[in-house]
């Protein structure tokens, strides 16, 4: 068996030989995050994918993230070490669903969370991520919007912008939506004085009792700047790896061992090496879909 350091070094050498950049989401396994050139949230990684000069983008994340990279950088080879890594929420709204919903609400702007397929993005006016959803919808200056697929992020946007009627699609993240108020209150009782940071994919009643509602990378910055010595982290457990690096003196409490996204964990460091060796796992998007999806993603990037 090859030891971790050898594998790490092999991957870095291969990345150099292939002129590849390795992008990893904040929920990836620690050793995958450590071998990446950039680790970030959906927005940060999309920006990296758009800006890179590498020929190859190895995307350690889930399918919609790699697809967004391909939408932004069609001339690059975008590889997923484990192409079967999907996002169940993204599959909760199909393009056919959205087309019907849009036709039922003529003239109402369609705002879509990036956790969606390229086909859905292609029917969208503007995309958002958890980091910029409120800012992008504010900039739209609309009275009513359709928002999918995440009903919880839709609620968070509506709560943050009282003048906007946010009509939600009924999708959700199985990992974040399962969190209950009781779990958070119990954690607060066990850790008095700790601050609660929650992802906006959590249910409204959970978000209501959080001290801060943030994207994954925003949580890293918040933890580093917070005066609290202990934080209760209400998001996927992979973030704890980055939190320990971002704020080494602090204590982080993972709300529950069930906060694990299996799709984020199927990518292993061995699979990163194999995909660089064989250049397998290429992500493709049909050109007409890509061009329409790009308009929605670019509108988002321009605003926030
Ligand atoms: P972030 O963009 O905040 O990293 O969130 C992505 C995601 O899939 C959360 O479940
Ligand atoms: Fe999708 Fe939830 Fe996993 Fe994020 S944590 S990739 S929203 S299933």
Residue 211: per-residue pLDDT: 98
> What is the model's pLDDT at position 160?
98
3-state secondary structure of 39: strand
pLDDT tens column, 146-184: 999 999 999 999 999 999 999 999 999 999 999 999 999
pLDDT reported for residue 258: 87
At residue 235, the pLDDT reads 98
Asked whether 15 and 36 are in contact (CB, 8 A), the reply is no
The CATH number of domain 4-86+265-284, selected from 3.40.50.10800, 3.20.20.70, 2.40.37.10, 2.40.50.100: 3.40.50.10800
Alpha carbon distances (Å) from 100 to 93, 123, 167: 11, 11, 14
Question: Using a 6 Å cutoff on CB, does residue 150 contact ligand 1?
Answer: no
Q: State pLDDT tens for residues 1-22.
A: 678 889 999 999 999 999 999 9
> pTM for the whole thing?
0.97
Q: Which ligand ends up closest to the CA of 264?
A: 2
Q: Which CATH number fits domain 180-258: 3.40.50.720, 3.40.50.920, 3.40.50.10800, 3.40.50.300?
A: 3.40.50.10800
pLDDT at 1: 64
CATH superfamily of 90-174+289-302: NadA-like (3.40.50.10800)
Ligand 2 centroid–CA 76 distance in Å is 25
What is the reported pLDDT for 224? 96
Report the pLDDT value the prediction gives residue 279, as an integer from 0 to 100. Answer: 96
- Residue of minimum CA distance from atom 8 in ligand 2: 87
Residue ranges in the chain modelled with pLDDT below 50: none
Atom 6 (ligand 2): residue with closest C-alpha? Answer: 87
Which residue among 201, 237, 255, 267 has the greatest number of ligand 2 atoms within 8 angstroms of its CB, and so is best to mutate?
201
Nearest CA to ligand 2 atom 7: 173
CA–centroid distance, 25 to ligand 2, in Å, is: 11
């Amino acid at each position: 068996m090859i030891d971790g350091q050898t594998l790490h070094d092999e991957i870095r050498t291969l990345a150099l030989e292939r002129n590849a950049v390795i992008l990893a989401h904040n929920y990836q396994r620690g050793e995958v995050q450590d071998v990446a050139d950039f680790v970030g949230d959906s927005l940060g990684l999309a920006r990296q994918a758009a800006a890179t000069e590498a020929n190859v983008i190895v995307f350690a994340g889930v399918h919609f993230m790699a697809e967004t990279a391909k939408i932004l950088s069609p001339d690059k080879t975008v590889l997923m070490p484990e192409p079967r890594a999907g996002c169940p929420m993204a599959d909760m709204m199909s393009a056919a669903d959205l087309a019907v919903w849009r036709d039922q609400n003529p003239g109402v702007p369609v705002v879509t969370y990036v956790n969606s397929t390229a086909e859905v993005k292609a029917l969208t006016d503007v995309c958002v991520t958890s980091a910029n959803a409120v800012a992008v919808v504010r900039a739209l200056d609309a009275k009513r919007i359709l928002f999918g697929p995440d009903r919880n992020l839709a609620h968070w946007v509506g709560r943050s912008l009282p003048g906007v009627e946010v009509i939600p699609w009924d999708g959700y993240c199985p990992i974040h939506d399962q969190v209950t108020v009781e779990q958070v209150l119990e954690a607060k009782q066990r850790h008095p004085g700790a601050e609660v940071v929650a992802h906006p994919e959590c249910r409204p009643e959970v978000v209501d009792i959080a001290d801060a509602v943030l994207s994954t990378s925003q949580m890293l910055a918040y933890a580093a700047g917070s005066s609290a010595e202990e934080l209760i982290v209400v998001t996927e457990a992979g973030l704890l790896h980055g939190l320990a690096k971002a704020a080494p003196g602090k204590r982080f409490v993972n709300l529950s061992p069930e906060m694990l996204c299996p799709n984020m964990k199927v990518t292993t460091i061995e699979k990163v090496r194999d995909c660089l060796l064989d250049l397998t796992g290429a992500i493709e998007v049909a050109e007409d879909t890509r061009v329409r999806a790009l308009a929605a993603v670019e509108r988002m990037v321009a605003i926030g």
